[in-house]
Amino acid sequence: MSAVNTTATAAFSEISAVSRVFPGRYRADIEPLWGFGGNPNGGYLQATMARAALDAADREHVLAASTHFLAAPGPGDADIDTVVLRAGKSTTQVRVTLSQGGEPKVEALVILGVLPDPVESPRWQSTRLQPAGAAYEECVPHAPDLEQVPATLMHQIDLRMEPASLRFYDGEPQGIGELRGWIALPAGEEFDSVSLLFAADVMPPATYDVAFSGWVPTLTMSTYIRAVPVAGPLQLVIDTTLIQGGKGDETCTIRDSAGAVVAQAHQLAGVRLP
């Protein structure tokens, strides 16, 4: 893996761009470095598909996405087909399919609309909402040795994690199934409703804090965009509550640099514990 070019080559908006082939059909170029061991990151795929949905529906923001990963796409060209299921006054729902070689790889239902600006204060929130973690300055850069962990994605972004969240590398995980950190995009690009879909799946799996394993493939993922973030990096907190039958759940809460919750995500992933 030492020969891999780990330098970020473009902004996320370029990496996840789509081009219209004809109405309802788009083309994307899957970047091999934005993933793990040659498998593209699920949040990256979800964001790329959302770009096609936004163009097809002529809407401003993503409000939510529910995505099912049927098989891992390979790098290179991919077709994205969109079907507008319902176009209402406040929201539009679009079904999106990403395929390669005529074989569906990822299916998503994307809900589009307009997010509030400025961010609205919460009317109510549960005590179970994941609390904020350490400040950005207290976290350390995380770009693992590719010989140990082939997470080339981590070399494309600026991911910083709380030191305690990295103890799994030393064989001493906290054992609470929780990881915390911050993310910034390359080239100083700011986050929007599309790149928030990516941020929701960018942290190492929360199951690593229980037992360090290899690739943890996402099977299904639902992401909710709550607000457009203010400028600056995002704070991420992820946790898992149950690993059973070779599968684990994960919840991610994303705050902007002002502390507002701007996205939430839930997913089910395959886990092969040692």
For residue 9, what pLDDT is reported? Answer: 60
For residue 7, what pLDDT is reported? Answer: 53
Asked whether residue 254 is domain-assigned, the answer is yes
Asked whether residue 126 is domain-assigned, the answer is no
Asked whether residue 122 is domain-assigned, the answer is no
Q: Which residues contact 244 (CB under 8 A, 6 or more apart)?
A: none
CATH of the domain at 258: 2.40.160.210
DSSP string, 170-223: GT---SSSEEEEEEE-GGGPPP-HHHHHHHTT-SPPGGGGTS--S---EEEEEE
Asked whether residue 127 is domain-assigned, the answer is no
Asked whether residue 260 is domain-assigned, the answer is yes
Structural domain boundaries enclosing 152: 12-116+133-270
Contact between 183 and 233 (Cβ < 8 Å): yes
Peptide bond preceding 118: is omega within 30 degrees of 0, i.e. cis? Answer: yes
For residue 5, what pLDDT is reported? Answer: 42
pLDDT, tens only, 199-226: 999 999 999 999 988 778 899 999 999 9
Amino acid at 89: K
Question: Which residues does residue 181 pair with via DSSP β-bridges, in sequence order?
Answer: 161, 236
Asked whether residue 6 is domain-assigned, the answer is no
**For the chain, what is the domain count?**
1
For residue 4, what pLDDT is reported? Answer: 40
For residue 247, what pLDDT is reported? Answer: 96
For residue 2, what pLDDT is reported? Answer: 32
Which positions of the chain have pLDDT values less than 50? 1-6
Asked whether residue 111 is domain-assigned, the answer is yes
pTM: 0.93
For residue 220, what pLDDT is reported? Answer: 97
Amino acid at 43: G
- Return d(Cα 39, Cα 41) in angstroms, integer: 7
Asked whether residue 7 is domain-assigned, the answer is no
pLDDT, tens only, 95-129: 999 999 999 999 999 999 999 877 788 888 888 88
Task: Return left, alpha or beta for 12; rule: phi > 0 is left, psi -120 to 50 is alpha, else beta.
Answer: alpha
- Return d(Cα 216, Cα 238) in angstroms, integer: 14
